[in-house]
Chain A
């Protein structure tokens, strides 16, 4: 069962620095939402605040409300660890565990939480996740090699496999394809298409075509000036944002006239 996310009036701080201001956006369940915007406008920060990864940075905090399927994400009784089990994340830079093999990396979510699973179950989970991430063919015969022995793009696909192996309800992806070749990129986009039937997916991308291809909803973030906080300029159905945006700066960004 996928989850919908309702964000209202969210401010994101790094210490005293207000990085993102006043974001209000509903994110529908079982849909793909793309975040676009120039570098430094706070896309990653906002994405990280959706699964409470933001607060692991010392001094980082948020103000405002995020409601996930009726539960207050930042409410007093909410356990961030439980939240992150439901809301998985793929990071901007690949980060496989260097002490683990490829195999162990994929099922790290279960292993690290000491979840008991049979050998055959684990094997199946590994193969399924690696196939979805379009990595299986390349690593099939060297699953016991260290995860860090892969190329950068392969590592990123390994991280995607690791994130989907735990079958989260929501998957946050921060520029998952920025290190990938067109073939793997299209495999990841296929994966996103498949996953969207069951999961809620949020993807940050600098690739306009990709946003247009994979997402139903697009949100455009921008900053008015360097040092100013980033803001959500507008959001709406992807077709509308790409063909007839309300805001001038959105149109300028999408058509490549700045940023």
Chain B
């Protein structure tokens, strides 16, 4: 043990010992605090300037400090730690900012009437997202019903049955589909229903199909990854017991991958539930609840939010409703992510 430690050290006198002088544990925090103060004074107490300048000064200070007290390796380590932490904080800034804005401006709008009333006959204050919530829930639900069987079966084909060139082509197309802009999916669904019903059509099932176009590739890819994770030994164990291939897939492979598949499906819902562009085209907007997916316009949360924001009404109260709608959408996505975690916990095979 000692010899490996020694070989990592430069062979310079006292450095050969495994004991080293180290900065006290509070040193980085104290140095950072001090640097923030310096930054604040230098920039005249602007928030962003203080943090940016303070961080830069800190990186220099901690390097010099660590280099003199500790060693050059420790100094590099501390600088890199500072850099990756800064990158992490920068990545977090937009997320925190969005959540803060949506909550601070959306929360005051939320009330019982906001959830229970639609925008029917509402001109100024009042009104709510009842119709849009239901639109979003059942359009997404229908998209789910369409995408999950197709996506999972396609993934089963790719992993369990596909041989040769065909699966490669399918995989390539699925990758391309993952990247298509959502507006294209909307135009596809719209064009499809124009062919059937003529121009100007607004129809709920069309929205579900547009969302399915976006969901299917996500479901296929996530399910495929999960099926690939199922060890081949398990398939072989089942075959060796004289179990036919399809039963092996249904009773061994799918249950083993269930947690991952369910998580993938839940996250694919979260991915499409906020889609605006395709629904704007094929569903449009309406002020009242429409429970018929086969005729007429249907309001959904993202499109509702969009219209409330660009057409806030005579008294401008729409802007508040827009943030309310956005908040409801964010909450739904948060719940879906929690559900995904719960599912992966409940269905994971190692659990008793």
Binding site for B on A (CB under 8 A): 51, 53, 56, 58, 81-86, 88-89, 91, 93, 95-99, 108-109, 111-114, 144-146, 148-149, 159, 162-163, 166
Contact = CB atoms under 8 A, between A and B. Distances in A.
Interface stretch (B146-154, B219-227, B248-256, B314-322): B248-256
A62 to B, nearest CB: 16
Contacts of A96: 237
B350 A112 contact: no
A96 B237 CA distance: 8
A85 B242 contact: yes
Contact of B239 (A84, A97, A146, A163): A84
Interface in B181-195: none
A28 B332 CA distance: 67
Contacts of B248: 112
B234 interface: yes
9 contacts: A53-B240, A58-B163, A81-B242, A91-B233, A98-B256, A99-B258, A108-B241, A112-B241, A149-B352
A93 B252 CA distance: 18
Interface in B258-301: 258
Given A146-B350, A146-B352, A109 B233 contact: no
Contacts of A144: 352
A84 B237 contact: no
A107 to B, nearest CB: 10
A32 B243 CA distance: 26
Contacts of A145: 352
B244 interface: yes
Contact of A93 (B233, B238, B243, B244): B233
B350 A159 contact: no
Contacts of A85: 241-242
B172 to A, nearest CB: 20
A112 B349 contact: no
Contacts, number: 83
Interface residues of B, number: 25
B198 interface: no
A82 B233 CA distance: 20
Given A112-B251, A112-B252, A148-B349, A95 B241 contact: no
A99 B256 contact: yes
B341 interface: no
A89 B239 CA distance: 10
A93 B251 CA distance: 21
B234 A97 contact: yes
B351 to A, nearest CB: 8
Contacts of A83: 242
B350 A53 contact: no
Contact of A113 (B236, B237, B247, B255): B247
Contacts of A108: 238, 241
A112 B239 CA distance: 10
Q: Which 9 A-B pairs have the closest CB atoms?
A: A85-B242, A95-B233, A109-B241, A98-B349, A89-B240, A84-B242, A99-B255, A112-B243, A95-B237
Nearest to A114: B247
Q: Which of B235, B241, B243, B252 has the most CB of A within 10 A?
A: B241
A144 B163 CA distance: 38
B303 to A, nearest CB: 42
B231 interface: yes
Contacts of A81: 239, 242-244
Contact of B240 (A51, A58, A111, A113): A51
Given A98-B256, A98-B350, A146-B349, A84 B234 contact: no
Interface string B16-55: 0000000000000000000000000000000000000000
